[in-house]
């Protein structure tokens, strides 16, 4: 579904990604693991058109999307839940969700999906008239994911969905990640909580200083001493 081939990405003169290649097959959950500043968020921003690669190729469903404007990439079926949630604080919960469906014309489908988001996150239904800026961190994460789902993506890019959340909320978020995937959405997940990420993922890639240094099935990562020491706290 997604093929990234040897991309280099720079912030000014600083190289953030070095020859990164990876693939995501339809129906998978693929996770990117790596320390802070390794380039994981940069990769997601490049895939969603917020950054342009200097070299290399990015193809989604057989079409080149490298350097395409962000709105065109959303239209082609990729939604991005950015790090730090980025909800529209001065709009209500429901207005945020409606904005997620901005490019859609199917009124009936939008209503159905709004109901589905509320079924998935009952808390958002309770808060639907509330200003988004007044929600807790966990509720804002639910809203950011709900808003992305409203775009009806084929591929969902999730950046650090568990960051700063209480353990119980983290469990809820990952349960939903699995549900979204089971309903047919492919997911590329960036996550500091490597244990959690590998427990839901089919495959993983390890990124260090802008390079992919390892890739393989998630259960192999769990079994690898090297990965355990570096990313799973040695447990």
CA–CA gap between residue 218 and residue 201 (Å, rounded): 6
Has residue 134 got a pLDDT over 60? yes
Q: Which two tokens stand for residue 201?
A: 């993922």
What does the angle CA 67 – CA 29 – CA 120 come to, to the nearest 5 degrees? 100
Q: What does the pLDDT read at residue 32?
A: 95
Has residue 234 got a pLDDT over 70? no
pTM exceeds cut of 0.85: yes
Q: Up-side HSE of residue 89: CA atoms within 13 Å toward CB?
A: 7
The tens digit of pLDDT for each residue in 142-166 reads 899 899 889 889 999 999 888 888 8
CATH number of 212's domain: 3.40.50.300
Sheet of strand 186-190: strand arrangement: 78-81, 155-159, 186-190, 29-33, 203-208, 211-217
Query: What is the domain extent for residue 215?
Result: 2-231
Question: Which DSSP category does 169 fall into?
Answer: H
- What is the number of domains present in the chain? 1
Has residue 100 got a pLDDT over 90? no
- Classify residue 112 as exposed, middle or buried by CB count within 10 Å of its CB (0-12, 13-18, 19+): exposed
The tens digit of pLDDT for each residue in 17-69 reads 999 999 999 999 999 998 888 999 999 999 999 999 999 999 999 999 998 99
Q: Which two tokens stand for residue 82?
A: 């950015």
- The residues with which 188 forms a beta bridge, in sequence order, are 30, 157
- Region of residue 3 (phi > 0: left; psi between -120 and 50: alpha; otherwise: beta): beta
Residue 211's SS3 state is strand
Q: What does the pLDDT read at residue 235?
A: 47
Averaged pLDDT of the chain:
90
CA–CA gap between residue 17 and residue 213 (Å, rounded): 12
What is the Cα gyration radius of the chain? Answer: 17
Question: Which DSSP category does 96 fall into?
Answer: H
């Amino acid at each position: 579904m997604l093929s990234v081939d040897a991309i280099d990405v720079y912030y000014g003169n600083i190289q953030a990604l070095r020859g990164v290649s990876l693939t995501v097959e339809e129906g998978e959950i693929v996770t990117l693991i790596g320390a802070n500043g390794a380039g994981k968020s940069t990769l997601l921003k490049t895939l969603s058109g917020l950054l342009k690669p200097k070299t290399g190729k990015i193809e989604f469903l057989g079409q080149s999307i490298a350097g395409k404007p962000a709105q065109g990439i959303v239209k082609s079926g990729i939604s991005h839940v950015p790090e730090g949630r980025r909800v529209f604080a001065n709009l209500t919960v429901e207005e945020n969700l409606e904005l997620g469906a901005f490019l859609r014309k199917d009124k009936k489908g939008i209503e159905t999906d709004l109901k589905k988001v509320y079924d998935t996150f009952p808390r958002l239904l309770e808060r639907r008239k509330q200003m988004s800026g007044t929600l807790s961190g966990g509720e804002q994460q639910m809203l950011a994911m709900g808003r992305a789902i409203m775009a009806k993506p084929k591929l969902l890019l999730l950046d650090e969905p568990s960051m700063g959340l209480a353990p119980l909320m983290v469990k809820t978020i990952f349960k939903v990640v699995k549900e979204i995937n089971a309903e047919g959405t492919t997911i590329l997940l960036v996550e500091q909580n490597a244990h959690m990420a590998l427990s839901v993922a089919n495959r993983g890639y390890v990124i260090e200083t802008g390079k992919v240094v390892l890739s393989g099935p998630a259960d192999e990562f769990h079994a690898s001493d090297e990965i355990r020491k570096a990313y799973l706290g040695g447990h």
